[in-house]
Structures are given as C-alpha cells and as structure tokens.
Chains A and B, each alone.
Chain A
Amino acid sequence: MDSIKGLIDLAASPPVAFTLSIVVFFTLFRSRWPWTRGGGLTMLGVGVAGLVFGLSDDELRRRVAEPDNLPIVGLVFVVGFFVWLAMSKAWANDEATERGDPTLEESERDDRVLTWPDLVFVELIAAILLTVALVVWSLLVPAPLEGPANPALAPNPSKAPWYFVGLQELLVYFDPWLAGVVIPGLIVFGLLAIPYMDRNPRGNGYYTFRERRPEILLFLFGFLVLWCQLIVVGTFVRGPNWSFYGPFESWEPARVAGTATISLSEALWVRLLGVGLPGSWLLRELPGLLVVGLWFVGLPVLALRSPWLREQRERLGRVRFHTVVFLVAVMGLLPLKMYARWLFHLQDIVHLPELLLSL
C-alpha cells in the first residue's frame, strides 16, 4: 500500500504530473473508446476508486474533506461528466454523419414542445432540488470559520478562494504584474474574442468533434490542462511554503521553500560564459529578448510553412489569424515557463527590473 502511495506521490511531482496530464489529454481525445458509455463508466470508476483510496489515507482525507476543498472534488467530477457528455454526443453524431444518417439534433428538429410546462416546470424542479442540495450541504458541513484574522500573521500556506487558486499558481512562474494583471486580462479578452475569431460554421446547433477538432482541442487544453488542473494542483498538492507535496506526504515538518532560481541572462553570461553580466541591460537581456521574439514572431513564421496553417490564414484573414496566434503563444508560455522552472530552475527569460518587466 505504502509503495503505491509512494508511486503516486512521485507521479504527483510537477514535471511528471504535468507531462502525464498532457499525454493523457491527447490520448483521450485521439481515441473513441473513452467517450462511449463503457469508457465513461470506467473513467468514473477510476475517479471514484481514486477518491476512496485517497480517503483511506488520514493525511489526504484531511485535505479532501476540508470544507474549503469539497467544491474542488466536485469540480473534478462535474467537469469530467460534462466533457464526457458533450464528447460522447459529438462522436455519435460524427459517426451518424459518416453513415449518412441525420445527427441526433437533426432527427429531433421537427419535434416541438411548449415552454410551459415542458421546460419551465423541469427548471423549477431542478431549482428546488439544487436549493435542497445546497441547504443540506451547508447543514452537514458547517462553514470553516476561524478566529479573528491577524494581519501580522499570514497562514501558511495562504490559499486564494478555489476559483482563483489557478491564477495564484501563475504567480509562481510569472512576474506578479503579468500573472496578476496581464494574463488574466488576456484570458478574459481571449474568451470574449472567441465568437469573432471562430469562423468555423460547423457544429452550429449540434455536437460534433470531427468538424471542429482544432477549436475544441485548443479550448479544452487551456481549460482542462491549464486552468482546472492548476486549481486541483494548487488545492491538493501545494502545502506550506507553497512547496509541492505528494497527496500522501505529510505537510509537517514544512518543506523549506524551493531552490534558488536564475534568469536566462544569468545562466548564459555567468554560468555558461563565465564573463559576468554586461553593464547594458539591452545587451544583458538580448538573449532573452531573442527567445521571446522567436516565440512570438519566429515560431508563427516558421509554422506558416505548413499548408494547413496557411489555409487557416486564408480562411480567417490576417488580423484574426495573428490575434489567435498571439493568444495561443501567450497560453503556450505557461507550460514553457513551468518546464523551464522545474527542469532548469529558470525563472525569467527576460529579467528587466529596470523597466519593471520580467518574463
């Protein structure tokens, strides 16, 4: 039992877990089976078994059963269910289309019912049941109130409300100005922009995966891997001193905060070349700026050699296309910086305290 827990703790270490989650993500979305009833039940079974196994451990049970963390446990299952539901319908439709049959939605197109009572009544019942559920939840799990807050004493770890834990996680990898202002702004901006960027008319009014593969994968990668996963990680895997703790590892004694990190300029000029940092910041940060430039400009230009992307550019138009590319590049910065940090202790690609700008 302990060796299994040890293995899970090992797998929960950030580089392994993150890599695994990317692999799992793409594996799941490449195959058909997970989105069948059997696949869904299997995934549910794995989730429930994992939960039960986790609850058998005192350390993890304390973390999972904490009133603050219950919504996160719910989130895992609820998000999983709705993704599965949409995907299973999409696959079914795609297969029907392939056979030449109408999609589920098409076959129902001529069925009409009245708003009242068919819709409103059901909604009313749902609202009542949800209210009952919330009331019972609040009665069974009292609010985790503590003593008066002491401004001189921050709890360790100090965690944001669950819906912000993902953003809090960004603070580890990015300059606060980026993590707290720019990136959240871009996320909001990106979500607002989706209807204007997405010119693919397919999937309108019916579930489909095949006809919208890039759109769906791009969105779900950001939502599941980069957003939901960070919330789960921040809630269950981050402990005192904001260090990583395996799900079964004790938080006591607290792990000493992470190792010293370096910036790209220091790695290059000091560690590699051994010549010390150049006096001029432009020269000093030139390598970093080059990397960033390459990331935002060079890569898209290179990528445009692919005929598919050129086709997309034609379809979307230049402005739309480059906006999407920019947003995707920003999104891609997160895994890039995570790996850089975990593998090379590299914190900043561009380290420019002179301009209050670091990336």
Chain B
Amino acid sequence: MRRLLPNEPERHFDIRRLSVVFACASLALAGATVWIIADDHGRDWKETQAEFRRLERASVEEELAIARSRAQQAEVASLWESVAREETALAERREELDEHGELLAGLERQRSVVVSRSRSLGSRIEATRARLAEAVVDGGDEEGLRLRVGELEAELLEQRKATELLDEEIVGLEDRIEGLRSGLDQARERLELATAELRRLEARSAALAEGTTDALRDLPLVDFLRPVSRIRQVVLDDLTTDLHFTRAPRVDRCATCHLAADRPGFESADWAEPYRSHPRLDLFVGAGSPHPYERFGCTVCHGGEGRATEFSRAGHSPVDVEQEARWRDEHDWRRAELERPILPADLSEAGCVDCHQEEVWTPASQVQEAGRALTLRLGCQGCHRIDRPSFRDRPVDGPDLRLLASKVDRGWAYRYLEAPRSFRPATTMPSFFHLENVEGEASLSRQRAEIRALVAYLWSLAPETPPELPAAPRGDARRGAALFLERGCAGCHLAAPEATRDDAFPRTERLQGPSLQGTGSKLSPDWLYAWLRDPAALSPGTAMPDPRLTDDEAADLTAWLATRVVEGWAGATLPPADEAVRDGLLLDRLTRSGTVEAAVARVESLDASEREILLGLETVRKYGCHGCHALPGLEDEPPIGSELTDIGVKPLEQVDFGRVDDVPRTRHDWLRAQITRPRVWDRGLATVKPYDELLRMPDYGLSEREARAIVTNLLGMTDDLAAPGLLTGRHELGPGRLAIDRHACRACHRVEGTGPALLDAGVEPAALPPPLDAEGVRVQAEWLLGYLRDPSAVRLRPWLAIRMPAFELGHGDLDTLLRYFMERDGAPVFSPEPRRPTERSLALGRVAFAMLQCARCHPAGPGALADLTLQPQELAPSLLLARQRLRWDWVPAWIADPQAFVAGTRMPTNFAILPDGRHVSPLVDEVEAPMFGPYRALLAAHFESEEAMIEALGDVGQVTVGLRDHIWWGLR
C-alpha cells in the first residue's frame, strides 16, 4: 500500500493505476472506433474498381505506345511533312494573307455599324407606326407621321443594300483567304484523320490518369463529395423485386464490380471476370441492344441480390465444384440464402423465360428453347400442371394404346413396359419399373404384378373386332431405305439403330414421331403397310399425317422397316401371375378409396382376369399413364404430379432432399437430380415406405445436356412480373408457333430462320421443301387454306421427291396457322382483286419476260417439265399457278428483290440494287443489241417515242408490274 500524503483522503483503488487502466480502455475504444470506420470503409468492390482502373490504364498505355510508334511510321511522317511544307508555303505568302485579314476585319467592322443602324431604324419604324395608330384613332398629326414612316423605310432600304454589298465583299474575301489556306487545311485534316486513334487514346489515357487528389477523394468522411470509387447502380422502376409484403423497384449494383459489362472492347482472353464485356452486347446490356443496361439491369435475367456489393451476398452460384473451390479460396464464398440466387453461368438462359414465354420461340436462348421443346415432347405437362403458354391445354399426344393389341403381343408389351429404352434408346417413353427405389423380392414381385396388370388392362381396351389389315405386298427394302430419306420421313423420325434422343438435340422435330429402331421386332408388315397407307384410318387424330405414298413406295418402306429388328425381342412371353401379390395390391388400392368390406366384396366378385384388368386400371392411375396416352374413362382425371408453374421460385424448404447428401442444397441441383434420378430421394427408404408410397416419377434417361436444357427452362418459370411496357416481343405469334411445333412444320421447312430438321438428317439442300419465309405476304390466304387442307390437289414443285403430307388440321389449327403467317408478315387476310392491266404494261411485261428468260426455270405448261434439260435445283414453280396462289400486289416487289423476302432463294436478283437502295433495270442496256429488234416492234405501238420506251424499260417499277401483269393475264 502506498503511503498517504497528509491531506489525501483514503482511496480503495490506486487512482494513478486506475488512470492508466482508464487511458488504456479509452485507447481501446478509440481503436475500436477506427476499426469501425475501417471496416465500414474498406469494401471489396473498391479494390475491384482500383484493380480495374489499373488494368485499364495499363491496357490503354499499351495501345497508346503502339499508336505512337505507328505515328512515327513513314506514311504518318509524310503527312507531318506535308503539313510543314504547307505551313512554309503559307508563311511565304504571309503578307498577302495578313493584308486580306486586315481588309476583312475592316469590312466586318463596317458591317457591324450598318447592322446596328438598321436595327435602330427598325425599332424607330415600329415606334412611329404605333404613334401613327394612336393618331388615326385619337386624332393627331397623321400626315406627318405617315411621311416619317416613309422616310425611315427608305433609309432602312438603303442600309439593307449597303449590308448586302458588304456581305458580297466579305464572302469574296473569305474565299480568297480560304484559297490561300486550303493546302494547309487539307494537309492538317489528313493528318488528323491518320492520328485520330492516337488522340482518342491520349484523351482516354488522360482521363484515366491517376490524379494527385484521387487518394484524398476516397478518404472516409470526405468520400461523399466526389469519390473516385463509387457504387455504380441503376434503379429500375418498371422491374420490381418481390419483398413479399410489397414490390420495390429493382436496384442493380452489379456494374460496381462488372465495370466493363456494358462496354465493348473487353472481350479478349486478357480480361477475366469481373472485367469482361457481356458476351452478347448486341442482345444484352449494350446501349444499342434490345435489353440496354439502363432499362433492364442485370438481375432481372441473371437473378441474385442486385443491391448487394459483396461477392457472396450478391448470390453468385458456381457452375461446378472446381469453380466453387476457387471461389471459396479467392472470395471467401458462402452460399447466399436467397430465394433467387444468381443462376450458374450454364443455366443463365433461364432468365429469358418469364418475359419471352408468350412468344414461345426464343432463338437467342438455344438451351432454354431446347428445354421447353423437350419438356413438351417428353410430356411433363401430362402429369404436372404448368400454367404457361406453351403447356396450357395441351392435348395428350402419346400413341393410341387401344391399337396395341393389334400391333404387338403381350410378351413384347410386358418387356417394353419393363424397360422401354432397352428396345429403343431414343424413345420418349420413360421407365417406370425396376428403378433404384425398388429393393427386395416383395417389391419386385409387386412390380411384376403391376406390369402384368397393365398389359391385361391395355388388352382389354382393344376393339371387339381388330382392324382389317390387307396383306402387305412385297417391297424392296433397299428402295425403302432410300425412300425414308427422300420422302422426308427423317424429318420426324430417328432411324439409326443406335440413335439416342441426343441425336436430335437441340431441336426436337426429329423426336416428333417415334424412333424407327426395331420396327421389325414390334410390328407386322401388314400393320406397317396399312399404317403407311393411311395412319388416320387406323388411329383417328394421330399426329402422323398421311405421307401420300404410292402403293409401291409404301410396300418398299414396309419391307425396309420390317428388316429393322432388335435382337432377342422375338417371342417374349409374360411371366406367370402371382395371384396373392396381385390381390394384395388390388385390395390396397381399393381400400384407399372405399371401405374394406366393399373392397373385399369387389375383389371376390371378379374372376382372375377381371382382377388383373382392374389392377391395371388402378396402376394406370398410380403412374399417370393417362397424362400422355388417351385412355377411355380417364380423360378428366386430374394430373398426378405437383404443379410446376412457378417451380423456378419453389422455396428450397419445401423440397425434400431425403437422406441424399451428395446433391448440393440448391434449387437447380435438386431439379437436376429430380429429373435424372427421379427416385433418388427414396434412398434408404426403399424397404421402409409402404410400396404404394414409394416415389413414382419415371426415369426418362435424360442425357447431361437434355437435363441442363430442361432445368434451364424450369428454373425460368418464376412469378416475376415484367412491366408491360418492356414486353415488346411478338406475343401474337405464340399460338401459331405452337401449332407449327405440334405439326413439326420445321421438320421440312425453314420457319423464321430455323429448320429444317431434314438438313440435320442429311438431306441435300436442293432436295428440301421451300422455306416458309414471307409465306404470309406471298400467297393468298384462300390458296394456303386450300393447300393445307389438301396438298394433293396441286403439285407445286414436281421435281421435289419430298411431298407435303396431308395433315388432319381442324378449324382451330387452320385458323391459327393462317393467322400466324399473315400476322408475322404483316399481310392482310384478303389480298386485293387483280386489276385489268393496260396494254402497254402487258406488252412491257411480255418483252421483259422474254428478255429475262423467266420461262427457263419456271416451266409454263403441264408438259413443259419434260422438255427441260435443267437440274432439279434449277427449277422453279410453274407460273401458271401464280394467279391462284400468289398475291397480286406482292409479285412486283418480289421480282424486284427476292432476297429481301426469302434469304438464299434461288430466284435471281435481276435488278441490281445500288448502294442508295435504287434498283437498276438491266433491260436498258439491251436496247442497242440486234436481238432487241423484234421486241422494239412489239413495244413501238404502245409508246409515243423511243425515249419513252427506253425510260419505261429502265423503270424497275414499270417492268416488274409489267412482268406481273404478263404472268397474270398473258400466260393463258
């Protein structure tokens, strides 16, 4: 204890030591305060921005160095020299120039005096007029004032004349000065042009140069003034984010780090994220793109928390484990708990769905588009309600199973149900049985009983009298194989023995029909023949159109299809029935919807085969077969799966990962696992859960890329609302595009730039059916209607081996398709009545028709084809059909510039187009040629002079109208 001084009161603590402790505590508090500021001030994005400034500066300096060295090269140097030369030349005439200059200055001064005087005169005239008006009304020196106005006006006129004289002199003088300087000015201009890049770079370098005050500007507390590092954000009032209680404007700050996203020039491999340009600036983010950054931001497509400026909180999602590991390492990455994290880069096309779904086709997002088409093709909407344009009200489109009994035997059906892809790897029929959640003999025997019951049920659907099948005539299998390609079957059917669905990816037209693998092991030749002759007769409402084959062709194709067998499928038999298992399953199912007593009574009242059929029906209900196949009595059954309309925002908490720990806890990983391993969540429960409660989603055998495409499309289905003003897509075309998909038009035709699938199948471009570009504006609606109803009425392109099949189109489909073509091309439904042409126009057309040799490719007349020595790819439709088929008002425009309507058409561009857009008629040049003689005679009667005739021949408008008129009225 320290000794106390006499007057010092006693202390419990040593105050000096306490003061030291107090000082330390205060220092700690000060330190903590500094720490707060440092923690708040030091943000990752500031470092990112500084790094980008440094990189950009280095890159600009580098370019600048190159530009500078280029500026010293010979051509630029010579430009410098010529500037110097001109300068010396001008210096020699300095005196003359100065003299002119002085003179000009004097004149300008004089002019300014005159102009000022005129202005004051003008105002005096106004004032005097006003006084005059007063004098007229109130009385006064009216006469004197009138005189005064006259004087003033005369004076003003004088001044004006003087101004004009001066102006003339000034202009003359200026011209002379300019003449003296012109050499120098031009030389400077050339130099400037040559060094523009250099100056641009110099300016950028100067703008990027680090100022001495930059560090000060970013200091805490002063950084609100004009900081160098600052948040770059865009506020999107039209695109809101859902905060559940309210919707708030979206605020995207992504550009704070992704500094070059909206700027071109950062595409090269030198630039790594976050410093790269957006890879598709023409479509996204770029100022001139349809989705500029200022209006759309980033998160509306990519997802993520736009307000966050910290790597993890923004919701970045890695594509794979390597990226994840790298991010953990570099960015201390954690998975953000966001409802919509940023989509992994390989799924980012999901962002297109919500805004573009009404348009149905989104060619710019190929993966998502493939996903949508696959989802439809695989029939997900059969079991899951998907209230979205592509999936709403889809009719079931699986094969008609009532025909099964007449096509195959029970053993085949059993084996196929057991494992469809073992018969056809490309089939869209999924596997329901013997999947990973079925373990143990008890479950296996139940599965066998279910399959047996399904077969029995399907056979019970067969009509009383099987369809009469005429015996198939013998055909040539080799010719049949060729026909498969020639007749266009390959547009809708895969046929290679080892084909998988991936062979059609990303387009799905070639999955439209079943794969033709193993037809010989499945169908009898008689059945095949009957089917090829008229599919709708066997199965009304089938998607397969009448291929319009001749008997011989059908026989050849039948012969070829019959040769396509899968080993080991002949003579498959049903396994024996296990009655106890069957009755047990049946009782289970019946007791679920009724009393036990009733169920037992029901089962007992049935004989063995009836029990099997009833179990089959219950099994159909369980697995949802009616989602894809039309089955009597089950048309109005509700879909068995959960709704997928907003699956893209399904909360992860509502998703069951079961005991599976090798699937990351993200929505997209769950979806991917769900569609590729649909029963995986039963892991460990296979022998625990009651049999009927095991998961029952079937396995579609999806490939990696199919799964990615489908997940992309599913993830896109969110509840985001886009502002109507931002939706500028062509939504009215959606139904038409769906109809085109439903009938697989793009199997054979190019529509809106995609297709035909036949091209992928290996058909020669020359043998392809015509593209349907500009179809709406090209043909008459009535004709198109008639042709779609019955394409056999006319052979438009007799040289094509592929024939337009006859579709069974209902009124709705016809209406949708016609409307689609007309609306797409902006054509009215009714085309104008043709007007009777003038004789002159007809004559002009006739001459032009002959001179341009139109008939060379367009056979005119039924027998014409035989006479021609042309190759098929050089032929064009008969012009005799034009009157009924084409739009009268469209033909001249088409003749003038065919490429404008159908890119790549073989129709030649006869009228060259100048850069300014004018067309040039080649006919004028021919006027002097000797062969023009007879044409001149023909035309002379219709023109008053040679000049008028030549003018008409040179006028593309008149010539094309003449050609049209000749085709309409002259070719009779």
A interface with B by C-beta (< 8 Å): 111, 113-114, 117-118, 121-122, 124-125, 128-129, 131-132, 135-136, 139, 146-153, 155-156, 252-253
Asked if B25 CB lies within 8 Å of chain A CBs, one says yes
**For residue B29, which residues in chain A have a CB less than 8 angstroms away from its CB?**
128, 131-132, 135
Residue of B15, B31, B244 touching A149 (CB-CB under 8 A): B244
- Contact between B337 and A147 (Cβ–Cβ < 8 Å)? yes
Show 9 A/B contacts (Cβ-Cβ < 8 Å), sorted by A.
Answer: A122-B13, A132-B28, A132-B29, A135-B32, A135-B35, A148-B242, A149-B245, A152-B244, A156-B653
- Contact between B22 and A125 (Cβ–Cβ < 8 Å)? yes
How far apart sit A147 and B654, CA to CA, in the bound complex (Å)?
A: 17
Asked if B597 CB lies within 8 Å of chain A CBs, one says no
Asked if B651 CB lies within 8 Å of chain A CBs, one says yes
Asked if B243 CB lies within 8 Å of chain A CBs, one says yes
- Contact between B35 and A136 (Cβ–Cβ < 8 Å)? yes
What is the interface size of chain B, counting residues whose CB is below 8 A from a CB of the partner?
34
Chain-A contact segment, one of B4-12, B144-152, B387-395, B763-771: B4-12
Smallest CB separation, A133 vs chain B (Å): 9
Given contacts A139-B36, A252-B657, contact A129 B25 (CB under 8 A): yes
- Contact between A151 and B244 (Cβ–Cβ < 8 Å)? yes
**For residue A252, which residues in chain B have a CB less than 8 angstroms away from its CB?**
657, 659, 661
**For residue B651, which residues in chain A have a CB less than 8 angstroms away from its CB?**
150, 153
- Contact between A125 and B659 (Cβ–Cβ < 8 Å)? no
For residues 924 through 972 of chain B, which have their beta carbon under 8 Å from a beta carbon of chain A?
A: none
**For residue A121, which residues in chain B have a CB less than 8 angstroms away from its CB?**
13, 15, 18, 22
How many A-B residue pairs have C-beta atoms within 8 angstroms? Tell me.
77
Residue of A nearest to B305 (CB): A147
Smallest CB separation, A147 vs chain B (Å): 5
How far apart sit A13 and B33, CA to CA, in the bound complex (Å)?
A: 45
For residues 8 through 45 of chain B, which have their beta carbon under 8 Å from a beta carbon of chain A?
A: 9-13, 15, 18, 21-22, 25-26, 28-29, 31-33, 35-36, 39
Asked if B223 CB lies within 8 Å of chain A CBs, one says no
Smallest CB separation, B335 vs chain A (Å): 12
Residue of B nearest to A145 (CB): B313
Asked if B338 CB lies within 8 Å of chain A CBs, one says yes
Rank and list the top 8 A-B pairs by shortest CB-CB distance, nearest first.
A135-B32, A113-B12, A128-B25, A148-B243, A118-B12, A132-B28, A150-B244, A132-B32
Smallest CB separation, A173 vs chain B (Å): 27
How far apart sit A111 and B243, CA to CA, in the bound complex (Å)?
A: 63
- Contact between A125 and B35 (Cβ–Cβ < 8 Å)? no
- Contact between B25 and A146 (Cβ–Cβ < 8 Å)? no
User: A124, A125, A151 — which one has the most chain B CB atoms within 10 A of its CB?
Assistant: A125
Asked if B409 CB lies within 8 Å of chain A CBs, one says no
- Contact between A125 and B653 (Cβ–Cβ < 8 Å)? no
For residues 333 through 354 of chain B, which have their beta carbon under 8 Å from a beta carbon of chain A?
A: 337-339
Residue of A111, A114, A152 touching B9 (CB-CB under 8 A): A114
**For residue A128, which residues in chain B have a CB less than 8 angstroms away from its CB?**
22, 25-26, 28-29
Given contacts A117-B15, A118-B11, A125-B22, contact A151 B245 (CB under 8 A): yes
Residue of A nearest to B656 (CB): A253
Asked if B264 CB lies within 8 Å of chain A CBs, one says no
How far apart sit A153 and B25, CA to CA, in the bound complex (Å)?
A: 46
B interface with A by C-beta (< 8 Å): 9-13, 15, 18, 21-22, 25-26, 28-29, 31-33, 35-36, 39, 242-245, 305, 337-339, 651, 653-654, 657-659, 661
How far apart sit A121 and B243, CA to CA, in the bound complex (Å)?
A: 49
How far apart sit A152 and B243, CA to CA, in the bound complex (Å)?
A: 12
Residue of A nearest to B681 (CB): A253
Residue of B nearest to A117 (CB): B15
Given contacts A122-B13, A125-B18, A131-B29, contact A146 B337 (CB under 8 A): yes
- Contact between B28 and A147 (Cβ–Cβ < 8 Å)? no
**For residue B13, which residues in chain A have a CB less than 8 angstroms away from its CB?**
117-118, 121-122
How far apart sit A129 and B29, CA to CA, in the bound complex (Å)?
A: 7
Residue of A113, A131, A132, A147 touching B11 (CB-CB under 8 A): A113
Smallest CB separation, B317 vs chain A (Å): 15
**For residue B39, which residues in chain A have a CB less than 8 angstroms away from its CB?**
139
Residue of A125, A136, A151, A152 touching B32 (CB-CB under 8 A): A136
Smallest CB separation, B256 vs chain A (Å): 19
Smallest CB separation, B316 vs chain A (Å): 15
**For residue B28, which residues in chain A have a CB less than 8 angstroms away from its CB?**
128-129, 132
How far apart sit A235 and B659, CA to CA, in the bound complex (Å)?
A: 24
**For residue B243, which residues in chain A have a CB less than 8 angstroms away from its CB?**
148
How far apart sit A129 and B18, CA to CA, in the bound complex (Å)?
A: 13
**For residue B35, which residues in chain A have a CB less than 8 angstroms away from its CB?**
135-136, 139
How far apart sit A121 and B18, CA to CA, in the bound complex (Å)?
A: 8
Residue of A nearest to B13 (CB): A118
**For residue B32, which residues in chain A have a CB less than 8 angstroms away from its CB?**
131-132, 135-136, 139
Q: Other than the known A128-B29, A135-B36, what 11 A-B pairs have Cβ atoms closer than 8 Å? A: A117-B13, A118-B11, A118-B12, A121-B18, A125-B22, A135-B29, A135-B32, A135-B35, A148-B243, A149-B244, A252-B657
**For residue A148, which residues in chain B have a CB less than 8 angstroms away from its CB?**
242-245, 339
Given contacts A113-B10, A131-B29, A147-B305, contact A153 B653 (CB under 8 A): yes
How far apart sit A19 and B31, CA to CA, in the bound complex (Å)?
A: 48
**For residue B658, which residues in chain A have a CB less than 8 angstroms away from its CB?**
253
Residue of A nearest to B15 (CB): A117
Residue of A nearest to B684 (CB): A253
**For residue A156, which residues in chain B have a CB less than 8 angstroms away from its CB?**
653
How far apart sit A113 and B11, CA to CA, in the bound complex (Å)?
A: 6
**For residue A152, which residues in chain B have a CB less than 8 angstroms away from its CB?**
244
Smallest CB separation, A27 vs chain B (Å): 38
- Contact between A122 and B337 (Cβ–Cβ < 8 Å)? no
How far apart sit A131 and B12, CA to CA, in the bound complex (Å)?
A: 25
**For residue A146, which residues in chain B have a CB less than 8 angstroms away from its CB?**
337
- Contact between A253 and B659 (Cβ–Cβ < 8 Å)? yes
How far apart sit A111 and B12, CA to CA, in the bound complex (Å)?
A: 9
Smallest CB separation, A333 vs chain B (Å): 35
Residue of B nearest to A124 (CB): B22
Smallest CB separation, B541 vs chain A (Å): 42
Given contacts A147-B338, A153-B653, A155-B653, contact A125 B25 (CB under 8 A): yes
- Contact between B305 and A117 (Cβ–Cβ < 8 Å)? no
Residue of A nearest to B661 (CB): A252
- Contact between B21 and A125 (Cβ–Cβ < 8 Å)? yes
Residue of A113, A114, A125, A150 touching B339 (CB-CB under 8 A): A150
**For residue A129, which residues in chain B have a CB less than 8 angstroms away from its CB?**
25, 28
Smallest CB separation, B322 vs chain A (Å): 23
**For residue B15, which residues in chain A have a CB less than 8 angstroms away from its CB?**
117, 121
Residue of A nearest to B31 (CB): A132
User: B244, B245, B651 — which one has the most chain A CB atoms within 10 A of its CB?
Assistant: B244
Residue of A nearest to B9 (CB): A114
**For residue A117, which residues in chain B have a CB less than 8 angstroms away from its CB?**
11, 13, 15, 18
Residue of B nearest to A152 (CB): B244
How far apart sit A123 and B957, CA to CA, in the bound complex (Å)?
A: 100
How far apart sit A324 and B245, CA to CA, in the bound complex (Å)?
A: 48
How far apart sit A121 and B22, CA to CA, in the bound complex (Å)?
A: 8
How far apart sit A148 and B241, CA to CA, in the bound complex (Å)?
A: 10
**For residue B25, which residues in chain A have a CB less than 8 angstroms away from its CB?**
125, 128-129, 132
How far apart sit A122 and B39, CA to CA, in the bound complex (Å)?
A: 30
How far apart sit A146 and B305, CA to CA, in the bound complex (Å)?
A: 11
**For residue A155, which residues in chain B have a CB less than 8 angstroms away from its CB?**
653
How far apart sit A132 and B11, CA to CA, in the bound complex (Å)?
A: 27
User: A118, A148, A252 — which one has the most chain B CB atoms within 10 A of its CB?
Assistant: A148
**For residue B244, which residues in chain A have a CB less than 8 angstroms away from its CB?**
148-152
How far apart sit A148 and B649, CA to CA, in the bound complex (Å)?
A: 14
User: A124, A149, A150, A155 — which one has the most chain B CB atoms within 10 A of its CB?
Assistant: A150
Residue of B nearest to A121 (CB): B18
Residue of B nearest to A155 (CB): B653
**For residue A125, which residues in chain B have a CB less than 8 angstroms away from its CB?**
18, 21-22, 25
How far apart sit A156 and B652, CA to CA, in the bound complex (Å)?
A: 12
Smallest CB separation, B484 vs chain A (Å): 52
How far apart sit A117 and B22, CA to CA, in the bound complex (Å)?
A: 12
Smallest CB separation, B380 vs chain A (Å): 25
How far apart sit A114 and B9, CA to CA, in the bound complex (Å)?
A: 9
